[in-house]
Amino acid sequence: MKNVVLAGFLAASAAVPAAGDPLADASFVTGVSICINFGSDGWFAQDRLEGAGWVARYDADYGVTVYDSPEGKVQAIPPAEGAGFPAWCSVVSQEVALDFAADVVRRVLIQTGVDANRETVDGCLAYRTAYDQQIRVHNDGNEVMCNRPDSARVDVITLTDPVGAQ
């Protein structure tokens, strides 16, 4: 199963044009794919990150466990196991361009067949999916900004339990 999931992420990353560091860009695609597809469940998100070679560590700045990509230039912050809703799953990098991150989100949504409406939140690009997720694209930092091209953060916020709604 891990090989199938990883192959899907590699196919998604091959479809997105590289913007900068190819390893960081590929890891960003993987992180965003995992957050969109598994970010509502901490255990599944963490398992998929570990299966893709990401390494967990405690980060004092965020105050939580983060996962470093294999090349160390992208961090994913999945929800904690058993966390309630809304559940946040974030992908952060100082090595990935903001425009690239926006394109990654759009392409992952298209490739996975997730219906989404484009929005603006705090002046930045966002999407609202049919699965009650809000996906925000902005710069990494203490304030929500989307005017610096040199960093990216994607927050996938699952507002309600997708299993409980069935």
CB atoms within 10 A of CB 44: 16
Task: Write the CB contacts of 91 (distance below 8 Å, at least 6 apart in sequence).
Answer: 28, 31, 32, 35, 74, 75, 76, 77, 152, 153, 154
Cα separation, 74 vs 91, in Å, equals 7
Asked if the structure places residue 164 within a domain, the reply is no
Q: What is the pLDDT of residue 10?
A: 43
CA distances from 162 to 18, 71, 130 (A): 32, 32, 10
Residue 155 reports pLDDT greater than 80? yes
> Which structural domain range is residue 100 located in?
2-158
Asked if the structure places residue 84 within a domain, the reply is yes
Predicted confidence band at 164 (pLDDT cuts at 50, 70, 90)? low
When the pLDDT of each residue in the chain is averaged and rounded to a whole number, the result is 88
Asked if the structure places residue 165 within a domain, the reply is no
Asked if the structure places residue 163 within a domain, the reply is no
Asked if the structure places residue 57 within a domain, the reply is yes
Q: How confident is the model over 17-33, as pLDDT tens digits?
A: 445 799 999 999 999 99
Cα separation, 99 vs 97, in Å, equals 6
Asked if the structure places residue 75 within a domain, the reply is yes
Q: Are 34 and 45 in contact (CB under 8 A)?
A: yes
Please name which of 43, 14, 37 lies closest in space to residue 91, comparing C-alpha atoms.
37
Q: What is the DSSP letter of 93?
A: E
**What is the pTM (predicted TM-score) of this model?**
0.86
Q: Are 66 and 96 in contact (CB under 8 A)?
A: no
Asked if the structure places residue 115 within a domain, the reply is yes
Domain count, the chain: 1
Cα separation, 154 vs 166, in Å, equals 27
Q: How confident is the model over 89-138, as pLDDT tens digits?
A: 999 999 999 999 999 999 999 999 999 999 999 999 999 999 899 999 99
Q: For residues 53 and 164, which has the higher predicted lDDT (pLDDT)?
A: 53
**Which position has the token pair 């969109």?**
36
Asked if the structure places residue 11 within a domain, the reply is yes
Residue 13 reports pLDDT greater than 60? no
